[in-house]
Amino acid sequence: MSESPAFTRRPVVCAGAVHWDLIAHADRSIRPDTSTPARLSQTPGGVATNVARALARLGAAPHLIGVLGDDPAGNALAERLSHEEIRQHLTRIAGAVTGHYLALHNPDGSLPAACIDDHLLADVPPEIFAQALVEAQSGRDADICFLDANLSTAQAEALIRAVSVETLVTADTVSAAKAPRLLPLLPSIDLLFANRSEAAALLEADGSQTGPASSALAEGLLDLGCAAVILTEGSDGVWFAEQGGDVTHLAALPVTVTDVTGAGDALIAGTLAGLNRGLTLRDAVPCGLRAAAIALQAVGAAPATLTWEAVATPAA
């Protein structure tokens, strides 16, 4: 199916983590108990932020909801985002420290370790996010609302309650530790993104490769109530399914990996950009896979090489 002939930039609202990403690319394998020579780079980060930035590259109209500290790091992050085509709805918390994520990459792009400080988000009242969503929509219903599981269950629920019935509600499970936050909300989620370990955490199953097949995990998530699911498996591609339909596998595109950080977020953004343009889920998922491949060959989820022309399927 081709995209809608009358594509308009209806709002795509992204809500969740907003922080700095500090990425280290080592020039040799990282070893414990010693320092390793590396190149360091700093970019805006957080799942919701990455998806919003990538959506802007792909020609959507993203709005970003989140929180920042009232500190120099927060000021610098807001200033950086102001130069991108993202409408900001960021609450500043007086006396708080803006979040940071630290990732350590080996020369082959693998990720031996990462740490995150996102304590700021946990203390924000849920109604703050609902109010920000109303502001983001400004009388014009969002086409898509995307939220990440960095939000608490109460924060995510407040957002879902505030969207219109026409808005497509999408969510990412973020990690095995945070995925269960979305469990009670799955019947209200139209499209869920998760990897094997996160799906297993929701299903209380074995997430290892000797555990249930990925197709069975995808079906299990549908049984929990979400309308559609995209289950990612890194270099093994994705499984996707909708209620009443078959589970389908698509292979990942072969690429030379530079940086895995943000690739999953690029996959989400590519898929949502396709849906925003009127594609079916079956046609939008390949857009996500192409976006992930582009991100893997660069640094971050929103490299300059990420464009709609680069990710569009032949049908688009």
Using a 10 angstrom Cβ sphere, with 0-12 exposed, 13-18 middle and 19 or more buried, the burial of residue 187 is exposed
pLDDT of residue 53: 96
- 141 inside domain: yes
- 79 inside domain: yes
pLDDT of residue 135: 86
- 65 inside domain: yes
Half-sphere exposure of 137 (CA within 13 A, CB side): 19
Q: What confidence tens digit (pLDDT) does each residue in 206-259 have? A: 777 777 899 999 999 999 999 999 999 988 999 999 999 999 999 999 888 887
Half-sphere exposure of 124 (CA within 13 A, CB side): 32
Q: Does residue 261 have a pLDDT over 90?
A: no
**What's the whole-model pTM score?**
0.91
Q: Does residue 3 have a pLDDT over 60?
A: no
Counting the structural domains of the chain, the total is 1
Q: What confidence tens digit (pLDDT) does each residue in 233-247 have? A: 988 999 999 999 999
Instruction: State which residues form the domain around 149.
Output: 12-311
Q: What confidence tens digit (pLDDT) does each residue in 91-119 have? A: 999 999 999 999 898 998 788 988 888 88
Q: 230: domain CATH number?
A: 3.40.1190.20
- 2 inside domain: no
- 3 inside domain: no
CA distance 26 to 76: 26
Confidence class for position 315, pLDDT limits 50, 70, 90: low
- 1 inside domain: no
- 6 inside domain: no
Q: In the block, which residue shows the tokens 């139209």?
A: 190
pLDDT of residue 5: 45
CA distance 117 to 110: 21
- 179 inside domain: yes
